[in-house]
Chain A
Amino acid sequence: MPQAERYAWMSLIAWAAILFFLLTRFTAGVEVLGQSLGLTIVEQSAGRLLWTYVSLAVIAIIAESVIAGVLAVHAGNADIEKDERDLAIEARANLASYWFTAAALNVIVIQVLANAAYGGHTLPQLNLTSLTGVAFALLLVLTLGEIVKRIALIWNYRAA
């Protein structure tokens, strides 16, 4: 398994853990590993939201740094870590992540505008009228975008 694919697997696990952390900070419902996880968004103060955002950023930086460090130690004196195929696969994964993020943000915008214009229906909708709802939606899209990138990396390594 190439270094870059190994990185993608380790990073995917880290981002799945970050997603779990995000969901436990914002939602309530069933108990999973001692944390509350569900589909109901719990309203929070701006200070706590900011703390959650900073925590997520710090956890992501630490996780990526640790993974890079572990892989660098493991690689030892390996001559070539990345070549043109790795870069091509990374570009494809970045593109997949970009399209996912763009599509998700468009869904959010359409949802908000459609609800404002044609509200009163019983279809499921995002609650973006509160600060917590907006922060959760954006952080969720960013986190899922990173996960999509890692899945696309692994997929492309397996396919090409």
Chain B
Amino acid sequence: MSPRKGRVRNNIRNLRTARGLSQGALAEQVGATRQTINAIEQEKYAPSLELAFRIAYAFKVPFEDVWEFED
């Protein structure tokens, strides 16, 4: 039996606005397009592990402060 599909939640919008960053500026820092950052914030797109780490690294916070897995 395959496991139930979970959901990747994130705290990017809060972290980004707290730092006064635009979606475009964050996108540039992590090597993605603004549309991808927007899709991630809206939780329509779950990024690769590498991009997820890049985003946490851009905010200089631990991974688990940005990402959360909801089963």
Are B32 and A83 in contact, with the CB atoms below 8 A? yes
B22 within 8 Å of A (CB atoms): no
A79 within 8 Å of B (CB atoms): yes
A160 within 8 Å of B (CB atoms): yes
B39 within 8 Å of A (CB atoms): yes
Are B36 and A83 in contact, with the CB atoms below 8 A? yes
Among A2, A83, A160, find the residue whose CB has the most chain B CB atoms closer than 10 A.
Answer: A83
| Cross-chain contact of B36 among A1, A79, A85 (Cβ < 8 A) | A85
A80 within 8 Å of B (CB atoms): yes
| Residues of A in contact, count (CB < 8 Å) | 11
Are A80 and B39 in contact, with the CB atoms below 8 A? no
B5 within 8 Å of A (CB atoms): no
B10 to chain A, nearest CB (A): 14
B17 to chain A, nearest CB (A): 22
- Assuming A160-B44, A160-B45, is B31 touching A85 (CB within 8 A)? no
The interface bits of chain A over 121-152 (1 if a CB of B lies within 8 angstroms of the residue's CB, else 0) are: 00000000000000000000000000000000
B11 within 8 Å of A (CB atoms): no
Residues from chain B with a CB closer than 8 A to the CB of A2 are 33, 35
Are B45 and A85 in contact, with the CB atoms below 8 A? yes
Residues from chain B with a CB closer than 8 A to the CB of A84 are 32, 36, 47-48, 51
Q: Which residue of B lies closest to A88 (CB)?
A: B45
Q: Which residue of A lies closest to B40 (CB)?
A: A85
B19 to chain A, nearest CB (A): 20
**A84 vs B32: C-alpha distance when bound (angstroms):** 8
A interface residues (Cβ-Cβ under 8 A, vs B) = 1-2, 79-80, 82-86, 159-160
A80-B33, A160-B39 given; 10 more Cβ-contact pairs under 8 Å: A1-B35, A2-B35, A82-B33, A83-B31, A83-B32, A83-B36, A83-B51, A84-B48, A85-B39, A85-B47
- Of the A-B pairs whose beta carbons lie under 8 Å apart in the complex, a sample of 8, sorted by A's number, is A1-B35, A2-B35, A83-B31, A83-B32, A83-B33, A84-B32, A159-B44, A160-B45
